Structure formats: C-alpha cells, structure tokens
Amino acid sequence: MFVGSFPVVSETFIANQIIGLIQDGHMVDIFSIDQPKRNRIHAFIEDNNLLEMCTYLRQNDASKIENAKSIASCLVGNRGWFGARGRSLLKKTFKRVPDWSYISVFRLAARTLESKPYDIVHCQFGDLGVRVLPLMERGLITGKLITSIRGHDITQTDRFDQKFYARLMDAADAFLPVSESLRQRLLKMGCPDKKISIVRSGIDCARFRFTLRNMHYGDAFRIISVARLVEMKGIEYAVRAVARIASFGIVCRYEVIGSGPMRSSLETLAAELGIEEQVIFLGSLNHDEVVDRLARSHVMIVPSVTAENGEQEGIPNALKEAMALGVLVVATKHSGIPELVEDGLSGYLVEEKSHVALADALQMLHAHPNTWAVLSSNARRTVECEYDLPIVHRHLIAAYQATLTH
C-alpha cells in the first residue's frame, strides 16, 4: 500500500482499508513517501500496530551523511541481499529512478526483501500511481498495480490532465474510483472501462451510535463542519450562511474542525460579519474527538465547491460518519455527494457557492424539527446499506480478485 504520508488525521479511510485487509488474513506492508508533519495519531491506528507495518521512504530534512548512514543500515544485517533475488535487486537500486532518491529506493528494496513478492501494489491516490509506475517498470517492486482515485487527484486540471495519466492508464491493471462521478472522469480521460471498478470509502457503522436529534426550547442550533480549510471545502459560504441565519434571530453555534491555509482569512471573515462569538475554529482533532463533537451537533454543513483549478473531492467520509450518527445534513450538489445524500429524503442539497441557499436549508431545518427523525433515519439506512466497512471491504476484495485473474 503506497500513501503520500501516514498516518494523516483526515485520511482514516486508508487506515480502515488496511485494517480490514489484515482482519481478513492478508499481509500488508505500508510504504509512506513522507513522515507526517504532526504527531496526532488516531487511537485505532496504534491499537492495530499500523505504524510497525510502515516504511518511510523519505526522511524529512536529512543531511547527506544521515542518508548515507540510512542506506548502510538498509544493507547491513539483511541476508536477503546475498540471494539471487537480493543481488538482482541491489543492481537495480544503483540505477537512478526518475523522481526517486537513492535513499527511498534502498528503503523500498530492503523492505521488499523481507517479504514475499506482492500480489497487489495498491496506490492510494492517482498521482502516487504515476510515481510508483517507474519503480515497477524497473522491477524494484512487483505485483498487479492498482490505483485508487479519490477526487483531488484527478480533478485538478492544472496538474492532473490526460497527458499526466496517459502512461499509467496504459500500464496499470486497475483503477478504483470512490464514486460514479470520478468513474465518468476516468472514462472521459480515455481509461478503459474494463479497468475501472467503483470501490467506495467506507466507515464502520458499528462504531457510530445512531441518535435522533432534538432541540429543546432555548437551545442553540448546533452546526458543524469537518474539513481541511482550503478553497474546495467552501467553508467561506458556510460562515456567510451562519451569519445570515443569525441575522434572522436564530441562536446558533458553528464549530469548524480542521486546519489549513485559509484559517486566518476565515476567522477574519467571521469577525467582519460580527459572528466571531458563534463560529469556533477548533483545528485538527483526533477521530474520537471528531465523533464526540459530531454526536453533540444538530446539523453538519458540507459546502464543498469546485475550486478555480477544477479541484473537487469524492464523497467526504466525515459526512458519512455524521449521517451514521443521526446528524442532519446540508450539503452542496458537488461531485459524488448526491450519490450519498438524496435531497429531501436523507438531507438537503443546494447549489455550490450559494450561502443564501445554504442558509435557507438551515432555516428550514430549524423551523421544522418534526422532519428530523425521517431525514436522520433515511440517512443512517443509506450509510449502512452502501458504505458500511464490511460491504465496502467485499467490493475491494472482489476488485483485487478480478485483477489477479486477468
């Protein structure tokens, strides 16, 4: 399993996928390009010893001497280098691989020597597939090459166009988009239909206790978002929507979980709109803390937008978790979100970049609490039937098996 950085607090879907494979009896090695910049780790990652399975291919800010020592440590004490496979691999590590440092290649080679040849080489994002392809072409790692497509890795038209993916689409064995909307993008870019299987990101519904929302007289209307603070997440429009319903006299509290480059400008916007007391930016939290905050909220607002560079997301996992808990949902008609939320039945969907429409949906929910039970129950049922981890895991295994037999 190749990932960009592991673990990342906003990418629980990767850890969930790995845990499912391990529990099913499969052996998994994790190759992380970089070490995470923050030390915050979800408890279930430590509980399942995932860090022990992870090899970091690049050491941040290491000197040439430190890299040389690291290469030496990859060589010393590993008897595998003396076998036929090891000698062949050693020759390949000394040849420069485009976009890969020697230290990364040596760490990869040393780890692969300790295990049997891989059946599957699974890259968790499209751009990782492009990076890993040269390693496979050189024979440094073997197996069927499978690439997950999750949203930003194919929708940023200024970075990831048809030319960028041309070689990968020809050489890879399978692509696993997380939504039908991303599947359609792959087809338009020329990916053969026979190589594509939708495998959604799942959540463990058993971990989320469903509770119907209610609001007593005098309670604040509790709204929440869980998102990286970047343009694509559209939090600006949520802040403006909250300001609008506050101007109508609705007492509300809006919590924003997540970090990112737009935090300062969003805090400034809240102050300019006079709602800095109602909008609370909590920064990054671990998964248990996120679930606790969700469980205490009435509504999750997911105001995702298409960024200027075309970037879109797939289907946010935090949205699935909120629906599993019984939290009401207001979201935009963005990318794969309408595949999860059915407007008027399991939540409300509005057009992108319209704080007025977001505010209208919030106001409607606030004014009609008698509709909450049906909306929440429908939402939970959808997540259980289509996004529960055991179901998604079966789809993943089926995709693996189909790839291995072709």
CATH number at residue 178: 3.40.50.2000
Same domain, 178 and 209: no
**CA distance linking residue 255 with residue 55, whole number of Å:** 36
71 SS3 class: helix
The CA R_g of the chain, rounded to the nearest whole Å, is 23
Q: What is the pLDDT of residue 38?
A: 63
The sign one gets for the Cα dihedral 394, 9, 183, 315 is: positive
What confidence score (pLDDT) does residue 216 get?
86
Q: Which two tokens stand for residue 86?
A: 């090891």
What is the mean pLDDT of each successive set of 10 residues along the chain, which is 406 residues long?
Answer: 91 92 96 81 84 87 77 80 88 89 90 92 97 95 97 90 94 98 95 97 95 92 97 98 98 97 98 98 93 98 96 95 98 97 98 98 97 98 97 97 95
- 296 shares a domain with 273: yes
- Work out how many domains the chain is built from and give that number: 2
In this structure, the answer to whether residues 170 and 214 fall within a common structural domain is: no
What pLDDT shows up at residue 39?
61
Q: For the whole model, what pTM was predicted?
A: 0.93
Three-state DSSP state, 331: strand
What pLDDT is recorded for position 41?
73
How far apart CA 244 and CA 275 sit, in angstroms, is 10
Q: Are residues 163 and 190 in the same domain?
A: yes
Q: Do 397 and 332 sit in the same domain of this protein?
A: no
Whether 130 and 12 share a structural domain: yes
Do 311 and 372 sit in the same domain of this protein? yes
- What is the domain range of residue 382? 205-386
H or E segment to which residue 349 belongs: strand 348-350
User: Are residues 193 and 230 both part of a single domain?
Assistant: no
CA 46, CA 65: separation in Å to the nearest integer?
31
> What is the model's pLDDT at position 82?
84
Asked whether 175 and 149 are in contact (CB, 8 A), the reply is yes
Q: Report the 3 state secondary structure along 146-179.
A: EEEECCHHHHCCCCCCHHHHHHHHHHCCEEEECC
Predicted pLDDT of residue 44: 82
Residue type at position 129 = G
Same domain (yes/no): 212, 335: yes
Cβ neighbors of 184 (< 8 A, separation 6 or more) are: none
Is the domain of 154 the same as that of 222?
no
Q: Does 163 lie in the same domain as 302? A: no
* H or E stretch at 120: strand 120-123
| 263 beta partners | none
pLDDT, residue 213, reads 96
Residues 16 and 34 in one domain: yes
Q: Give the whole-angstrom CA distance, residue 2 versus residue 18.
A: 11
